[in-house]
Structure formats: structure tokens, C-alpha cells
Amino acid sequence: MSEITDIQAFEFLQSIEQRSFESASVSTREEDLSRFWTGVGFRISGNDYVVRLNEVAEIISIPRHTKVPGAKNWVKGLANIRGTLLPIMDLHSFLGRKAPHALRRQRLLVVNHDGVHCGVIVDEVLGLNHFEDEDWVQEIPVHDDAMQPFLNGGFYSGEKLWTVFSLNTLAETPSFRQVALI
């Protein structure tokens, strides 16, 4: 019986690796993922929305915060998050609605876009949602005129339509950027 040398074993493993690469599928994991759209689902006023994952810097519980004198009523205050001051904005009040009493499930979607770094209060975060690009629809029914400027199409998941909400568009809106009472 002949003994296999270390060099022969190494060459044998290299040939297995080479054959594996040759027979592997051309598509990569990244290419497979590119046909999916990922977002964070949330609820406000009983309606479900989804925001693109890369528009959400983080999701946190509503921290203790301090009211800011001279700010509009939808600016709930400032919180110290890991040494950084974070303005907290109430989306209900910004949209001209009566804000519900604090719900245990309320969370902050933190946005950091175009010089705006703040937390936006939503009623509940529903988790990550993944949609195939082919499920995209441009035309969506609008049931809430106040939300309409921030909506951009949607995705069907079965019979359910997830309307896309843009935190970036909200952050770019002049009335959202103007927080001081004048």
C-alpha cells in the first residue's frame, strides 16, 4: 500500500476546489438578493406601512425626554441616546391628528438623512418585511391625505398591500424641518 504525501493531498484538495468553482452556479448570493426589497413594517392610526430598511438608522423604545420650550406641539422633546441628543417627533401630531395616549408598543424610527437626525414616534413596529421586486405597484389607494406626500407605491404580500412610506421624504419636508414656533 502506497502512502499519500502531504503534497499529493494538497494537490488533490486543490483539484476538488477547482472542480467546485467550475460547477458552481454563476449567480451569487448578492445577485439573488438584489431582486428583493427589504423594509421595516410599522403601524400608525391603524394602517400598516413599510419604510425602506436603509432609511431607518435604528429602532428604539421611546426614552425619557425633556420638553423643548418654543417648539411646535409635535416635537415631543430631546432625549440623550448614548451621549447624543435626539429630537423626538410625534408623527400623529405632525400630520394634524390627535396623538393617542402612550402605547406600550410605540417605538421610535430613527432617521438620519440630509442633516436631520431624529426619532419619529410610530404606534408599533411590525418587523422586517421582504418583497420581491415583481410585487411592486406604483398606483396605490390613498386613504389618508395627510400621509400622501410621504407615500411611494407599495408591495403586495398575498392580498395585503404594504404601502411604502419614506422617512427621507419626511426629513426633507420644509414644514418638518421647521420645529420652532414663530
Tens of pLDDT, residues 86-135: 999 999 999 998 877 767 899 999 999 999 999 999 999 999 999 999 99
Residue 95, Ramachandran bin (φ over 0: left; ψ between -120 and 50: alpha; else beta): alpha
How many helical (H) and strand (E) elements, i.e. helices and strands, does the chain have?
A: 5, 11
Question: Taking the model in full, what pTM does it have?
Answer: 0.78
37-177 maps to CATH 1.10.260.40: no
Mind listing the pLDDT tens digit for each residue in 51-70? 999 999 999 999 999 999 99
- Beta pairing class for 116-122 and 124-132: unpaired
Give me the residue spans of the domains in the chain.
37-177
Select from 121, 118, 115 the least CA-distant residue to 172: 115
